[in-house]
Homo-oligomer: A and B are copies of this chain.
Amino acid sequence: MSKETYYIGEQSLTFPKEVYLISNASVVGKKEGEGPLGEAFDMICEDDKFGEDTWEMAESTLQKEALALAMGKAKVKPQDVRYLFAGDLLGQNIATSFGLMDYEIPLFGLYGACSTAGESLSLAAMCVGAGYAKTVAALTSSHFASAEKQFRFPLEYANQRPVSATWTVTGSGAFLLSGKKGDVRITGITTGKIVDMGIKDSMNMGAAMAPAAADLIAQHLEDFGRKPKDYDKIITGDLGYVGQEILINLLKKKNIDISNVHEDCGILIYDKEKQGTGSGGSGCGCSAVTLSAHYLPKLKDGSIKRILFVPTGALLSTVSFNEGQSVPGIAHGVVIEHEEV
């Protein structure tokens, strides 16, 4: 029995066995398909209900399709996937449960708000990296309409949105992780603590989540003994324009300048001017589909070599919000690298 340990610094890990990201897929709605990344997604559905009767079942269908595509690309069958690590934003994770049950794969249901894309990749990588499975899947979803219903107002109410508000992405990203050698490797993770700065505005998620992202990125760099320039990109999930500025300023106070390498999936996914999406995109699906469609192709072909992927989550519910609680944030970091094969 090995005596080795794999934890480094305060919050980070490497893995005893190599972990590869062998397949990925993205499924999005019409609006995301019309955005700047439109051509990169694997599937764009013109009908945001995806042929289902409810928004929740539509979101379930997003997950089902994303996983089917990721498995199809890698010629992996459901029975070859040993675990699913999956979650969504809805109460009791119903998009995940109803979307994935037909696959009959052992499931670890996760909730980290919009950070779930990072949480699911982290736990999936820990699993493969320990030799607990040959192949596992990590996936998350969000849907504009099911999220508005869950967190904000009925769509029919047509409420006005402040400019700091983000637009929940309709989309699901699925990832297969395996010990089998490939051209994209997950080399480490940094797991986030909850950070609460007392922000109480549920229409300004970027501001609520930026401190958690700043904490995570600073700790990650310290744990691994790296600088921002050691990454081609440091990518947050859905801070949006408002949150990006806060993040960069918070890190500058710690003498860390990420302004040259920082990108945010929520900023990339929509055209702010043409699409009326306020501060940017958000939701579990935002970072997942952007990683899948925009960054992974570049990591595969080697045009970028190493990224720190940091999905961020705002840990509120309508109950906690209505009871006057703050909106604490959390972020989970995953290091993804190009591997020469």
Contacts and interface: CB of A to CB of B under 8 A. Distances in A.
A326 to B, nearest CB: 9
B2 A131 contact: yes
Given A17-B1, A193-B104, A323-B56, A111 B92 contact: yes
A56 B320 contact: yes
Given A101-B196, A108-B191, A193-B105, A131 B16 contact: yes
Interface residues of A, number: 66
Interface stretch (A4-12, A168-176, A246-254, A292-300): A4-12
- Most B C-beta atoms less than 10 A away, residue of A13, A53, A111, A126: A111
Interface in A314-334: 315-320, 323, 325, 328, 330
Contacts of A131: 2, 4-6, 16
Contacts of A5: 131-132, 134
Interface in A60-110: 82-83, 87, 89-94, 97-98, 100-101, 104-110
A11 B123 CA distance: 17
Contacts of A57: 323
A112 interface: yes
A163 to B, nearest CB: 25
Given A87-B111, A106-B192, A315-B92, A98 B325 contact: yes
A113 interface: yes
A303 interface: no
Nearest to A219: B106
| Identical copies in the complex | 2
A109 B106 contact: no
Given A16-B1, A320-B56, A123 B111 contact: no
Nearest to A149: B319
A45 interface: no
Contacts of A83: 191
12 contacts: A1-B17, A2-B2, A2-B16, A16-B130, A91-B319, A94-B319, A98-B320, A98-B328, A107-B191, A107-B194, A108-B110, A149-B319
Given A1-B18, A94-B320, 13 more contacts: A2-B16, A7-B133, A16-B131, A56-B319, A91-B150, A91-B319, A97-B328, A98-B320, A106-B192, A107-B330, A108-B123, A109-B330, A126-B127
Interface of A: 1-2, 4-7, 11, 13, 16-18, 53-54, 56-57, 82-83, 87, 89-94, 97-98, 100-101, 104-113, 119, 122-123, 126-127, 129-134, 149-150, 191-194, 196, 315-320, 323, 325, 328, 330
